[in-house]
Amino acid sequence: MSCPICARDRDAKYAPFCSRRCADIDLGKWLNGSYAIPAAVTAEDDDDEAPNHPPLPQQ
């Protein structure tokens, strides 16, 4: 198996990466949102955005 970042042979110490550098690059992609797991929006998700109480009267 090769490193998913640079395609070099992987190192068991940093598996599945070849080096700490590639492992850190991958972590950075997760932290900045470059990687995302797609999710379908459901009606239940829409309900979460609506307030659970009536609006407050205006003064």
Which residue numbers belong to the known binding site?
3, 6, 18, 22
Which residue numbers belong to the known binding site for Zn(2+)?
3, 6, 18, 22
Q: Using alpha carbons only, what angle is made at residue 15 by residues 6 and 20, rounded to the nearest 5 degrees? A: 60
Q: Which two tokens stand for residue 29?
A: 């992609």
Q: Which two tokens stand for residue 41?
A: 């929006």
DSSP code at position 19: S
